[in-house]
Structure 1
């Protein structure tokens, strides 16, 4: 068995194994992590195309040359689609253009197989078209994915694939590389064949790492944020408040908080249903965020009650923000809402978290007892 054949057989089993790994992960991880199945199908397509190369001279050229190379290109395109889905970006290229891209590739391969046979031109065509697809994939990875270990490994893998294709194209252009076929035993051909067998598992490892990183991020987000309003949950809000209190103690900064209660929210649920009540909560949180600074932290404290931590904010400044929230109430719509707000300010080293919250709660109670849709401070 010659070296090119050994490499092709090895690559076949590697591609199928890695496709199986990603297929299992794609059905194990949450559906919110998209693109793994596309990557798996891409590896499977490429892997199934390799036996067609191996069967060269034993089956028609239509299968061993044209179809085999189409499957390689198709595999790269599926992997590109997978990384785009994983990154959460929509395809900007119309289906007709993608179809035309594939058709042109197939026509060129048929031309250089039947009309004007040329191994060098077939190699150049595959390298040029795959270079376009892989370069676009690298662009998406560098632009859309966060700087993590998985992203870095994938970037390196794609860069090596791009570099190999550039070198091959340059060598063909200057006549350095004169391929005679897929089983050409030259060092350049062996290197070119060996690179995918190394990059496929490396790329798969990077995808697994990226999926794991995203799963960790999703779990961390779920543990800290309210699913409905996308505000901090109570546990995360208390952590944020503790951090700001510690900072205020250390630096002597001002700190205020506000507790917010949606007026008559139980009546909204009873009259219009809980789904409409949920929409009110989402509408309030969306509007409230427009009046808050980036450093302010809005949290859903429980039910229809919210808390806002206002760093570097005195009580008078907090009252101005609260006034804007009161003015943001929704009226003249099918479901109107307003809010009652209680304010309190950190009193310095003698103060405590419990006392701060208790004063804000008393102020909120006073606001509701005084007729709602207003702000009180203690």
Structure 2
């Protein structure tokens, strides 16, 4: 027996809920729109806080306001958390199933609240629904493509809370039907739940805040590393990335290829069509090249109309295939406001004993020069890899 006074923790839950709702509404107004789910989390905290306030009026207000509505508000709040997590992680929305679950909850709670004031049945219904909702939140976070400490922590809290809900449900099923009022529910699981529920709201909100902050950090870091016009890596950022990949390839004894790409006759395009048309050509090529690359590949703007592409763990044949895709995409005319253009590509391969980034870029540049000299709109390989 923990000796927890239920109303105290209900009031604490309401206070924490409103505080976190305010925090997440402020974050929603100040964070980039690409970081999604913040406002929905704020509404989740608001609904759970409102439910807690109404729970505290049990016995003073009609059962509709002190039991039926607050139970639905808590369930809706956790459902909103689940929607927030899915939006944050870029997962498909599941509003339909959530709405059906909340509708089922209302229908099931109605007779247990108004026809027969059966606290035990309400406890079983709500514990079952909350087990599903908290568990669904944990599963959604598990499906994130990138998971760090914040995601593991938040998912773990969701999973632990789901386990507590399940334990409450199972013990309520085994209890005597004579349990008719929440004030006399003195089971250890219920006491643990009352003691930890307010703190679980804090833990979950802290976890979601950490997730949002990490995504904000990635966004700002990406903006600092990207070329403003094209969205590809800036030269210094790309070279730093290339140095790291070379070190990893050398230690893992993996091959790697680097492509140097040049827009053919770009000066003539500027002179004939104007500088704005030339900028559109660069933008068009950057978009096409990014679409032609694989997830682990990287492209950077080396200068003007020259680009570098890094292909980790890629053989000569694989590098040529990627280069051909880029060259074919560049030659395909998709927009009326973009003049036709072609590209030339030089490829150099990195092996475990290869030198630094400067050496492989120099080799790719020589191959590019050979491609331009041979007639442009073609791919050439570096003659020999420069070794230590």
TM-score for the superposition, normalised by structure 2 = 0.79
Tell me if structure 2 keeps the 8 A contact 1:22–1:40: yes
| Offset of residue 102 of structure 1 | 1.9
Partner of 2:302, secondary structure, is: strand
Shift of the 114–158 alpha-carbon distance from structure 1 to 2, 3 Å rule, reads: same
Deviations 1:244-284 (A, max 9, x none): 66689999998775421112445276385744652233124
2:80 counterpart residue number: 78
Tell me if structure 2 keeps the 8 A contact 1:281–1:304: no
Tell me if structure 1 keeps the 8 A contact 2:249–2:351: no
1:281 counterpart residue number: 286
Residues 7-16 or 335-344, more deviating: 335-344
Provide the C-alpha distance between the structure 2 equivalents of 1:109 and 1:250, rounded to a whole number of angstroms. Answer: 62
Partner of 2:261, secondary structure, is: strand
1:65 counterpart residue number: 67
1:10 counterpart residue number: 12
2:206 counterpart residue number: 205
Alignment partner of 1:112 is 2:112: yes
Residues 142-151 or 204-213, more deviating: 142-151
Provide the C-alpha distance between the structure 1 equivalents of 2:137 and 2:249, rounded to a whole number of angstroms. Answer: 47
Q: How does 1:202-281 map to 2 (within 5 A)?
A: 202-226=203-227, 231-243=232-244, 257-265=258-266, 267=269, 270=274, 272=277, 274-275=279-280, 277-281=282-286
2:173 counterpart residue number: 173
1:103 counterpart residue number: 103
Tell me if structure 1 keeps the 8 A contact 2:254–2:351: no
Tell me if structure 2 keeps the 8 A contact 1:298–1:306: yes
| Offset of residue 205 of structure 1 | 1.2
In structure 2, which of residues 322, 344, 348 is the aligned counterpart of residue 340 of structure 1?
Answer: 344
| Offset of residue 181 of structure 1 | 2.5
Partner of 1:183, secondary structure, is: helix
| Offset of residue 352 of structure 1 | 7.4
1:22 counterpart residue number: 24
Shift of the 248–56 alpha-carbon distance from structure 1 to 2, 3 Å rule, reads: closer
Shift of the 105–251 alpha-carbon distance from structure 1 to 2, 3 Å rule, reads: closer
Tell me if structure 1 keeps the 8 A contact 2:179–2:185: no
Tell me if structure 1 keeps the 8 A contact 2:259–2:310: yes
Deviations 1:213-268 (A, max 9, x none): 22222233333444666643311322244456668999999877542111244527
Deviations 1:282-307 (A, max 9, x none): 124433x26xxx87653222342112
Provide the C-alpha distance between the structure 2 equivalents of 1:60 and 1:101, rounded to a whole number of angstroms. Answer: 25
| Offset of residue 203 of structure 1 | 1.0
1:158 counterpart residue number: 158
Provide the C-alpha distance between the structure 2 equivalents of 1:303 and 1:237, rounded to a whole number of angstroms. Answer: 15
Residues 212-221 or 261-270, more deviating: 261-270
| Offset of residue 164 of structure 1 | 1.4
Q: How does 1:310-349 map to 2 (within 5 A)?
A: 326=327, 329-331=330-332, 334=336, 335-342=339-346
Tell me if structure 1 keeps the 8 A contact 2:343–2:377: yes
TM-score for the superposition, normalised by structure 1 = 0.81
Shift of the 76–321 alpha-carbon distance from structure 1 to 2, 3 Å rule, reads: closer
Could you tell me which runs of 5 or more consecutive residues in structure 1 were left unpaired when the two chains were aligned. none
Partner of 1:308, secondary structure, is: strand
Provide the C-alpha distance between the structure 1 equivalents of 2:169 and 2:122, rounded to a whole number of angstroms. Answer: 11
Residues 151-160 or 338-347, more deviating: 338-347
Tell me if structure 1 keeps the 8 A contact 2:230–2:282: no
Tell me if structure 2 keeps the 8 A contact 1:228–1:282: no
